[in-house]
Amino acid sequence: MTNQRALARTRIWAAATVCGLCLLGPPGGARGSELDLAGLDRLGAERHQPPPTPSERKILLRRQRPGTISLGLQGGYGVVRGTSRLADGFDHGPSYAFRFRYMLSPSFALGFSFENQRFGNRGGAPSPEPGASDSTIHMSTVSAEGVFFVHREREVTPYFIGGIGHAAPDIVDEVLGSARVNEGMFLTAGAGLERFVRPRFSLDFSLRGYGLISNSEFTSFAQITAGIHLYPGD
């Protein structure tokens, strides 16, 4: 009788152990193996993915490329003011200019300008003295300029100018000939707008100011210009 009770208890413990194992699930080793296999599958999928496509290099427009040269021709009209001999008796007149630009970066160019300006007299009775009503100013200038472009990639490009140059003004008299006055260095600054009609051809409009100090006298010029720019090359 005692043996039967012991056997029954053993069976009960065995059944309880089997039920507990079923509830707990497979051992940790088996579960870890499944995780390792899943990780290997993900690693293999990542290795078989195509490499990322490199971003395409942006192609600069002709007018943005460093080393590009442009040739310009402009006509304008200006006024002269100040305390110097040039501003005494003279007022306004036409001008023309040749301009060259060399692109150093997509938004900056080094420019050179060669200009000729004329300022007529303010009127009055003729006089044999140079600078009177029968005289005009003929002024030649040469300058180096920095040109800063805004949104150079667009068809309409605003820009700003700053530079330094040399002015050689002559008062030309119909009776007494010409005389050089107030020759010296000047500073220039201004702003403009370039409108591209074609990739190598543009219309150029600018407003410029000049400040000249010579012989302790100050002369200022203001000039509005319009013209074209050509971009030769490939």
Identify the DSSP state of 68. -
Residue 181 shares a structural domain with residue 209: yes
Same domain, 142 and 40: no
Are 98 and 203 contained in the same domain? yes
Best CA proximity match to 71, nearest among 113, 117, 107: 113
In total, how many domains does the chain have?
2
- Give the per-residue pLDDT at 179: 86
Could you tell me the sign of the dihedral formed by the alpha carbons of 164, 116, 77, 202, in that order? negative
pTM of the model: 0.69
Q: Where are the beta strands (DSSP E) in 127-216?
A: 135-149, 156-173, 177-180, 184-198, 201-214
Are residues 97 and 24 part of one domain? Answer: no
Alpha-carbon radius of gyration of the chain: 42
Query: By CB neighbour count within 10 A (0-12 exposed, 13-18 middle, 19+ buried), where does 95 fall?
Result: buried
Supply the CATH number for residue 156's domain: 2.40.160.20
Residue at 54 is within a domain: no
User: Are 112 and 198 contained in the same domain?
Assistant: yes
Q: According to the model, what pLDDT value does residue 87 have?
A: 83
Indicate whether 118 and 217 sit together in one domain. yes
For residue 6, give its domain range.
2-47
Q: Is the dihedral of CA 55, 156, 70, 221 positive or negative?
A: negative
Mean pLDDT by 10 residues, the chain (234 residues): 58 58 50 51 56 62 85 96 85 94 94 94 57 76 96 92 95 82 94 93 96 90 95 78
The pLDDT of residue 192 is 97
With vertex at residue 162, the alpha carbon angle to CA 157 and CA 167, rounded to the nearest 5 degrees, is: 125
What are the residues whose beta carbons fall under 8 Å from the beta carbon of 196, sequence distance 6 or more?
Answer: 63, 155, 156, 157, 202
SS3 132: coil
Pair 22, 105 in one domain:
no
Domain membership of residue 56 (yes or no) is: no
CB-CB contact of 230 with 201 (8 Å): yes
What does the pLDDT read at residue 1?
53
Q: Is 111 domain-assigned?
A: yes
Assess if residue 55 is contained within a domain.
Answer: no
Residues 184 and 152 in one domain: yes
